[in-house]
Structure 1
Amino acid sequence: MKEVIILLADIVNAFHDFLIQFASSMGWDLTDKDLHFWVIGILGIIGLLVVEVVFHALAKWSISAISFLFTLSMVLVFVFAVEIQQKITHRGNMEFQDAAVSVLGFLAFALGYFLLRGFIKLAKR
């Protein structure tokens, strides 16, 4: 887990340095806050547009699909927050396998939920 976070941090830092150099070569005097504003703003709006298209398609199919994706994203954030907290407090090991097993736990319970719902739907018919 530590290695994954370090790799991601290295990628972000390299991209950050590239953007600083690019902005400087263009004669732009951008602060770190300016970069955060533009980069996160642009990435966020691209993400919003992609999610908008995907969720509109999913809404025609099933609201449960949207609920599942939203909950999965919350679970991912929570799992990584727990792993980082373990590293900071030294109350457990920060391991990628812990995160993977945590997400698998959610997927297993979600599968059980959807199967139960399907059986209930069939029984009602």
Structure 2
Amino acid sequence: MTRLLYAFVKGAALIHESILHLNDRSGLFLTDKQLHFLIMGLIGMGILAVIYPLFLVLSRHHVLTIAWIYVFTVMVVLCFAIEIGQGITGTGNMEFADILSGMAGFMLLFIIFAVLRGVCLLIMKLFRL
């Protein structure tokens, strides 16, 4: 897990340095905060350009799928935050396996929920006929 985080941080640092060099060479001389504002804004809008049409289609009949995507995203962030927090504070071992285990727990309980929901909807549909 630590290696993965260091690799991610190293990659982010390389990208950051490249952007800083590009900023200096272009003559813009934007501050670090201005660059964060611009780059993160562009990344967010790029993600939105992909996600918005997908959610538009899903919203017609698949609200549960949208809810699952949202909760899955929150759970990934939460699991990583807990593990990083354990590594920083020394209150536990920062392990990628813990993230996978936590996500597997969410997935299993979601599958159980989805099956039970499907059975309930089927029963309701059968009794309406």
Instruction: Report TM bin, short chain.
Output: over 0.9
Question: How far is the alpha carbon of 1:61 from its aligned partner?
Answer: 2.9
Q: Which has the higher contact order (CA 8 A, sep 6+)?
A: 1
Structure 1 position 40 matched with structure 2 position 40: yes
Structure 2 residue ranges without an equivalent (≥5) = none
Cα distance in 2 for residues equivalent to 1:34 and 1:17 = 15
Pairwise CA RMSD? 0.9
Structure 1 residue ranges without an equivalent (≥5) = none
SS across alignment from 2:29: coil
> For residue 17 of structure 1, what is the aligned residue in structure 2?
17
How does the TM-score come out when normalised to structure 2? 0.93
Runs of 4+ in 1 over 4 A off after TM superposition: none
SS across alignment from 1:110: helix
Residue correspondence of structure 1 range 88-99 to structure 2 within 5 A: 88-99=88-99
How does the TM-score come out when normalised to structure 1? 0.96
Percent of aligned positions that are identical: 30
Cα distance in 1 for residues equivalent to 2:98 and 2:23 = 40
The number of residues matched between the two structures is 125
Please tell me the residue identity of whatever aligns with 1:38: L
